[in-house]
Structure 1
């Protein structure tokens, strides 16, 4: 009986969501205050959009984006280079038994929102969206 069938196939638990948000806030604070001893990383303005944790809370994946979107690959390299120090700084602000291993990925949600806005501004899509719903009239 190793696996809990109740949580299989469902989204993250409330605990995962709560811990992820706590880590997101702590990581954002560390990055915005320049608490890391790396001038290149401190020179960047970084948005931490979301942090997702593994079910056992041992891995935390932070979805990040540099302000303005420029320098994304450099950002990932800088964060990877400072991962140990970031983990220590973030763990000081948490009340967890173990500090999670931090991983970093680019946050794609802004690109997806831009694409959605572009699609919604298309004349054909707007015309279809504004057309009266014929099915509702029947």
Structure 2
């Protein structure tokens, strides 16, 4: 029997599917420049992930400006345009309720770089015993 609270388990297939639909619609809106805000027109924004709440009424959109510059300004511009973006999404994605949009900075690239740096550190390399080869010969 499925846990209704969702604690201890990952997102449902429906959450993942709706999140992907919203991500595609949001990416399309931002890439086409369908909003008249000049702050959004100046920067290209990627949308790597959208996470939906269990009731599908809140979409947390993880975004990153290309080049990694002007993150705070991009988040502020997206938050200021959340209602028009929501309206555009409602026209493109057929859902019972159009989710409220919340924008967060995507830090997965920095986290990946941090983990990569840790794995390449001399202490880890020594423990793994791969100091003399890159591992490309395997």
Aligned to 2:58: 59
- Which deviations, in whole Å up to 9, do the C-alpha atoms of 1:64-114 show, x marking residues without a partner? 111111111101110011111111111111010111100000111011011
> Matched residues in 1 for 2:4 and 2:92: separation?
30
Q: CA deviation at 1:128?
A: 2.0
Aligned positions of 1:1-138 closer than 5 A = 4=4, 7-130=6-129
Q: Distance in 2 between matches of 1:33 and 1:126?
A: 46
The CA deviation at 1:8 is 3.9
Q: Distance in 2 between matches of 1:114 and 1:33?
A: 30
SS at structure 1 position matched to 2:103 = strand
- TM-score with structure 2 length normalisation? 0.86
Runs of 5+ consecutive residues of structure 1 not aligned to the other structure: 132-138
Moved over 6 A (4+): none
Q: Report the CA distance between 1:117 and its aligned residue.
A: 1.5
Instruction: State the alpha-carbon separation in 2 of the partners of residues 45 and 91 from structure 1.
Output: 22
Q: Give the superposed CA RMSD.
A: 1.5
TM-score (normalizing by structure 1): 0.86
